[in-house]
Structure 1
Amino acid sequence: MIRPSAIERALHGLVDLHCHSGPNPLPRRFDHVGAAADGARLGMRALLAKSHHHNTVMDLLAMRDRLAPLSTAVYGGIALNNQVGGINPYAVEMCLRMGGRCVWFPTISSRAHIDHHNSGGGFPKPTIPLSLAQVDVRGPDGALLPEVGRVLDVIAESGALLSAGHMAPEDILEVFAAARDRGVKRMVVSHPNFVIGSDPAQCREFIRLGAYIEHETSMYDPEVAQARWSARQLLDWIEQVGPEHTVLASDLGQAGRPMPVDSFIRVGSALLDLGLPEKDLRRIVRVNPSYLLGLDD
């Protein structure tokens, strides 16, 4: 009998909270069904299909018959960019009450994202002409918009995951503080060192509000042309904020980039080689994201 390797043991049952499968206005390598089928190679438990432009729950309902035979469950959500009307509690209500599991606050429409990419940060171009407008979470007086509170109430009611999207750190802090006060239990900050511009000390402030810190294999994978950092730097982040507060996701699905499973294997193996305990890798790819997606309630 062939025994599973350490990386196979650690990654079996993983949950990917950041999969950019299609359909989408940005070029994608595979659709949601293809993502789930590939996940079966590692016994992936579930993935969260993310679009910057639309409510992915509707995609999944349309693909229900194709997804049903697959062992990897796929969940959807909504990103509050200008294509869905920005901070739109009505769109959030429909998404979550039809089975959505996540609300991403502004990503490509956030001030931080627009500032970053206008200064040469680079981002894939859509396959169709699309207008981009900034979506703010604050009004002219600097206070959070009333719609933010309404969105947070729907998230709390549904037990869904609140993602900081690509907001600036000061906006994340205020939105997360309001979310905690309104009963939101699940919060995550993705790639804090990319676009958002946060550091471990600031991330510990997010953690005190109940958040988890998510890193993306695509940003540490040596086979991704746009990878920015090494596995050693990722390990340093994990050690500074703690594996109990860390999530590892893929942020993959784009045309011309690796399959998520392959990237998880490469980055996970590098972390194990650097001395990360197998139990800690299992925690950041399986235990923590399972909780955030509400799979173990």
Structure 2
Amino acid sequence: MTTTEAGTSPSPALLQVLDGTVDLHCHSGPSPFPRRLDHVEASHDGARIGMRAILVKSHHHNTAMDVLAMGPQLAQAPTPVYGGVAMNSEVGGMNPSAVAVAVLMGGRCVWGPTVSAGQHLLAHQHDDGFPNNTGNLYEEEVSVFDSTGAVSQQADLVTRLVSDAGILLTGGHLDGESMSAFFATAARNGVKRLLVHHPDYIINASETAIEEMLGHGAFIEHELSMYHPDVAAPHWPIEQLVDWIHKIGPERTVLDSDLGQVGNPLPVDAYLLIVQQLLDHGIKAEDIRQMTCRNTAFLLGLEETNR
């Protein structure tokens, strides 16, 4: 039986709960941020708990191209890996051309601006625990709004391309107001798969903004890394995650790792530790599977519904 880094063997019951997990937030490499493992290694890590699929994320480039370039190695790897593109300045910002390329190359996700979002740039002026680039990437702010304050034509077209492809759109690290406007446009244009990342980290979305985004059909993601004791920040107590699950409900909650960085635990070790803690705090196994398997499979386009 595989053991965790802490040296303890996961129980058969825990492995059964996690079998079929889809991780929508894996930060394997390559990346300008130092990474602990590459996409092939992430695939093998996922097999330890029978992961169904992994979505690999870069803040800086189109990871669908990584998946194609690593095709021969990934073909021999146990867990399917998918990619996408984030709307940061490194790919031209809110760039429909970058989205079109990602879709053409098999991308399954378009992330809203993350490291280029104004909210991120503001938060990163402080010690927020976010990793640093290995060099100056000349980051520029990317907004979903034009000079008049309306959602820009580029952002509108991005959502139309996502809708046509039937893939996932996330709000990245946009502030709540910007993300809600972006998602409202996306919903009008027919996007069915919407995801809000860590609403209480960097984004700091208000309850009103969260309710608006839920109204547009969005799911709310929480990252296991933020509750892991071996991750430097934000190092939140498990009770905070339990409260979020009760507040939003498992039908619209997603649990992902947000791991792969140098110095942090492996993604699977976070699932083993944090999911066991959730079980110990009374979250039902069926609800955990809803959040880790069914909701995530729907968002990645592996299933037509999350039921």
One fold, TM greater than 0.5?
Answer: yes
Alignment partner, residue 128 of structure 2: 121
Aligned to 1:255: 262
CA distance in 2, matches of 1:190, 1:16: 13
Shift of 1:87: 0.5
Comparing 188-197 with 67-76, greater Cα deviation is found at 67-76
Output one character per residue of 1:55-87: Cα deviation in whole Å (capped at 9) or x when no partner: 001111010000012221100000000000000
Partner Cα distance (2:195, 2:80) in 1: 20
What is the identity, as a one-letter code, of the residue corresponding to 2:31?
N
Q: Do the aligned partners of 1:82 and 1:132 also contact (CA within 8 Å) in 2?
A: yes
Kindly, what percent of the aligned residue pairs are identical? Answer: 48
2:71 maps to which of 64, 85, 103: 64
1:275 Cα deviation from its structure 2 partner:
0.2
Structure 2 matches for 1:91-130, cutoff 5 A? 91-130=98-137
Q: Secondary structure in 2 aligned to 1:229? A: coil
**1:277 and 2:274 correspond:** no
Q: Conserved in 1, the CA contact under 8 Å of 2:128 and 2:234? A: no
Deviations 1:123-180 (A, max 9, x none): 3222233111111111111011100111111100000100000001001111111101
Alignment partners' CA distance in 2, 1:152 and 1:54: 19
Match among 19, 22, 40 for residue 15 of structure 1 = 22
- Tell whether 2:229 aligns with 1:222: yes
Deviations 1:196-233 (A, max 9, x none): 00255542321111000000000011222224311111
Kept in 1: contact 2:54–2:81 (CA 8 A): yes
The separation in 2 between residues aligned to 1:133 and 1:196, in whole angstroms, is 18
CA contact (8 A) 1:47 1:72 kept: yes
TM alignment of 1:1-297, pairs within 5 A? 5-200=12-207, 202-297=209-304
| SS in structure 2 at match of 1:187 | strand
TM-score, normalised to structure 1, is 0.97
**Does the aligned pair in 2 maintain the 1:75–1:101 contact within 8 Å?**
yes
- Residue 195 of structure 1 aligns to a residue in which SS? coil
CA distance in 2, matches of 1:145, 1:49: 27
Amino acid at match of 1:204: E
The AA in structure 1 aligned to 2:33 is: L
Q: Which amino acid counterpart does residue 137 of structure 1 have in structure 2?
A: V
Write the deviation string for residues 36-57 of structure 1: whole angstroms up to 9, x where unpaired. Answer: 0110000011010000000001
Higher mean displacement: 172-181 or 4-13 = 4-13
In structure 2, runs of 5+ residues without a counterpart are 1-9
Distance 1:41 1:110 in 2: 35
Q: Distance in 1 between matches of 2:13 and 2:171?
A: 32
Q: Which amino acid aligns with 1:269?
A: Q
Counterpart residue type for residue 92 of structure 1: V
The AA in structure 2 aligned to 1:29 is: R
Give TM-score scaled by structure 2 length: 0.93
Work out the CA distance in 1 between the residues paired with 2:211 and 2:60.
30
Structure 1 unaligned spans of 5+: none
Q: Secondary structure at the match of 1:7?
A: helix
CA distance in 2, matches of 1:270, 1:123: 24
Deviation at 1:7, TM superposition (A): 1.5
3-state DSSP class of the match of 2:115?
coil
Q: Residues 145 and 152 of structure 2 are in contact (CA less than 8 Å); yes or no, is this contact kept in structure 1?
A: yes
CA RMSD of aligned residues (A): 1.3
